């Protein structure tokens, strides 16, 4: 689990996650290792630890691999 330092109340930021979902995130691993799960766990931990909303912190995510997907 990542350790995220929280802002004081009323501190809102914009966060952009650029997520590598290409084969290299898994191909360089030893058998049984999966860095993809670390990437997903980090993103989930980050987003669930902050207040996200229209009048609060904004989060965007872009993944890339063979094609770019903007969600």
pTM listed for this prediction:
0.66
pLDDT in tens, 21-56: 877 776 666 666 678 888 889 999 988 888 888 888
Q: Are strands 68-70 and 58-64 parallel, antiparallel or unpaired?
A: antiparallel
d(CA 46, CA 33): 22
For residue 1, the model assigns a pLDDT of 47
Judge whether 9 and 40 are in contact, CB under 8 Å: no
For residue 15, the model assigns a pLDDT of 92
User: Is it the case that residue 57 has pLDDT exceeding 70?
Assistant: yes
d(CA 71, CA 63): 8
């Amino acid at each position: 689990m990542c350790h995220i330092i929280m802002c004081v109340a009323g501190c809102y930021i914009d966060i952009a996650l650029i997520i590598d979902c290409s084969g290299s995130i898994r191909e360089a691993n030893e058998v049984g290792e999966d860095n993809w799960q670390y990437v997903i766990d980090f993103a989930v931990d980050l987003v669930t630890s902050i207040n996200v909303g229209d009048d609060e912190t904004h989060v965007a995510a872009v993944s890339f691999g063979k094609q770019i997907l903007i969600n």
